[in-house]
Structure 1
Amino acid sequence: MSFFTGGPRERPLFPVPEQELYAFNGRHWTDAPREHIVPAVLPWAQPLGRSERTVIALRAIEVWPEALTLRVTVYSRDSLVDNPAEGLIDHRRKPDYNGLLIGVLYADGSRASSETVSVPSASEPEDPVLRAQPVGGTRFAVDHEIFLWPLPSAGPLKLVVQWTDREIPETRTTLDGGAIRAASKDAAEIWPGLGKRQANGLPVRRVGKQVALTPDWGTAVVRAEEPGHAPGD
């Protein structure tokens, strides 16, 4: 009779980095499809808000087939952050209304802003998605990408910024939603004809075991570990 009564447990699975690019999954609301699409670029550089020592500026708009990315830089005459990679726009469960806030107002009245935490979802959300992330810069010029889904319809798309700590009041800038939507037709697919990933076919590994993956990253094949030898064998 065995002293240890419990049997072996299934080892947990963990994702591993992709080694092959598959066709775009069609979830345009989760992130910019930068691995699959070259976006159209609208060079609409303009200030979005300013005070005596700080300027929030739109540098360009990248337009994807069903979404867009706002390239926004914050400029200052004094140091903004010790580490630009941390950025200035925080998505928090409890918003800091003294900090830098950014939002959009669609022509139909729907809205999205950095006030909320936007978590990517497998199913298409009912409300617009806005997700800000830092992309570097310097202590005096901090760059951000503002991902926005869906594309606006014809009519005004209003960008709203506010930074109370930097004496920038709520400021609205109106963009041409129809022109943004029209530019999406110029976004170009990079790899037409890529194969689709098999359902639930994420590449994985098991902790404590060596995993061999098929060339098309299908089902993982687990090789049993060689049994160890007891001392004195």
Structure 2
Amino acid sequence: MIDKPRGKLPARRAGGFVKPAPRRPGLPPEGPILLYGLHTVEAAFQNPDRRRHKLFATENALRRLEERGIRPDVPVEILAPRALDRMVTRDAVHQGVVLEADALPAYGVDELKGARLVLALDQVTDPHNVGAILRSAVALAADAVVTTERHAPEEGPVLAKAASGALDMIRHVRVKNMARFLVEMGEQGFFRVALDSDGEASLEQTPFGDKTVLVLGSEGKGVRQGVRAACDRLARLDMPGRIRSLNVSNAAVLALYVARQRMSL
């Protein structure tokens, strides 16, 4: 039997947890969330902004965390893999560790002071895509990833697992209005480039400023008209092969790489 953790967790039922009630879009999770997976939990322990409460782990997974230099600073409960299975959603790959922790603080535009390369996602809703983009943004040394409060995944186990630790390595800023945010960034000296198939030039041929915001839109709709109007340039990703378009997470990798080359970062 799992000890009752502090804070609010999903209600109990025989043999595990029930699915929590839906939350209103744009609001942070109410009470602690459950993070799982070795990379995700490791990064959460290394992030001073992450408030942690309790670790549930198998003996083997706890040993693997310790081999990675993680010394848990919270109570630890050793559980069998099946008990952990009941704590997470079906088919979730927890790798023997589940961490009860608070959601990260609500980062705002003040967190972008000193930033040079920012990636903005206009209504990209799939948590797996956003998680993959967060991981690529960390790998390519972007300073922040910006999403909207609505029509974007809230922080939670699926997003955190898809990001494989990156959620705790980069500022994830949420804004109410993407177009207004881009106007404000322009006033702060950022050059704003939106990826669009009808862009006047390829991204490689597009000039970049010392500070740049790259904007990517949702699959299908792309960047919305009002958001495009708030940008300085529209640029396209030219594909030399027979497939002319990419998944948004793959497009983000290429765009960040090109931006770093153009900005000499």
TM range (shorter): under 0.3
More helix by share: 2
Structure with the bigger RCO (C-alpha within 8 Å, sep 6+) is: 1
Q: What is the TM-score when the length of structure 2 is the normalising length?
A: 0.19
* Rg larger in structure: 1
Task: Name the TM-score, length of structure 1 as normaliser.
Answer: 0.21
